[in-house]
């Protein structure tokens, strides 16, 4: 099975990786405009369409007053179809900070369901690791930041970066993991209990 690729209404600069056969492509509201500009025809278009301003043909329309964001509607649909790997474009650089925070929480929603998600913006990529690890190759460059998501993240180990950590604890109340750096070595970030938000430069691509 491929990936679930979701286009949302925030800014981004092109694809981080090609859309492949077997991928499920979803346009969430204003993300339809970006998918169309890239010459990509979504498998499904959904949302409340307050961002796009009109409803494309054969779309799934939801009320504006709802619990889910349009991105969350798309994520739920992808999970229902059995997908476990998600790439969400236009989710970090929109005009509303509250929607960016909601998208970061959507990463946690995926991680809680044993799925993996990556948010792709103009300059950065974000992902959440829950009681697991993320290996990053030696070719990665620039800065990488690691934050606790929710309750304390325990048994945190960071290897191969400028600043390392062995079996430590990160708290949501102090940004200890901000502005670490790749060193030209293979790196690994792991957490035994809890979740970590990991943010790095978009130029490195999706792991």
What does the pLDDT look like over 44-55, one tens digit per residue?
999 988 888 888
Burial zone of 197 (CB within 10 Å; 0-12 exposed, 13-18 middle, 19+ buried) = buried
How many structural domains comprise the chain? 2
Structure tokens at 91: 């989710």
Among candidates 151, 112, 155, which has minimal Cα distance to 130? 112
Instruction: Note whether 105 and 141 are same-domain residues.
Output: no
User: What is the average pLDDT across 118-130?
Assistant: 97
Where a domain ends, among 75, 104, 122? 122
Task: Report the distance separating Cα 207 and Cα 204, nearest Å.
Answer: 8
Chain segment 30-83, per-residue pLDDT in tens: 899 999 999 999 999 999 888 888 889 889 999 888 989 999 999 999 999 999
Instruction: Note whether 73 and 157 are same-domain residues.
Output: no
> How do strand 116-120 and strand 85-89 relate by DSSP bridges?
parallel
In this prediction the pTM is 0.94
User: What is the average pLDDT across 151-160?
Assistant: 97
């Amino acid at each position: 099975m491929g990936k679930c690729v979701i286009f949302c209404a925030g800014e981004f600069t092109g694809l981080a990786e090609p859309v492949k056969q077997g991928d499920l492509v979803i346009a969430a509201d204003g993300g339809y405009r970006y998918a169309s500009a890239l010459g990509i025809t979504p498998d499904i278009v959904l949302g409340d369409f307050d961002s796009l301003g009109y409803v494309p043909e054969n779309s799934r329309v939801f009320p504006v007053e709802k619990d889910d964001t349009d991105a969350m509607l798309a994520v739920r649909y992808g999970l229902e179809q059995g997908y476990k790997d998600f790439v969400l474009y236009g989710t970090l650089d929109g005009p509303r900070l509250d929607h960016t925070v909601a998208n970061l929480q959507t990463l946690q929603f995926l991680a809680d369901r044993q799925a993996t998600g990556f948010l792709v913006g103009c300059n950065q990529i974000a992902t959440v690791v829950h009681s697991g690890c993320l290996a990053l190759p030696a070719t990665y460059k620039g800065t990488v930041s690691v934050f606790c998501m929710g309750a304390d993240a325990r048994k945190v180990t960071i290897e191969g970066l400028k600043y390392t950590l062995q079996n430590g604890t990160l708290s949501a109340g102090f940004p200890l993991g901000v502005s670490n750096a790749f060193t030209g070595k293979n790196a690994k970030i792991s957490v035994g209990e809890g979740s970590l938000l990991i943010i790095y430069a978009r130029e490195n691509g999706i792991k």
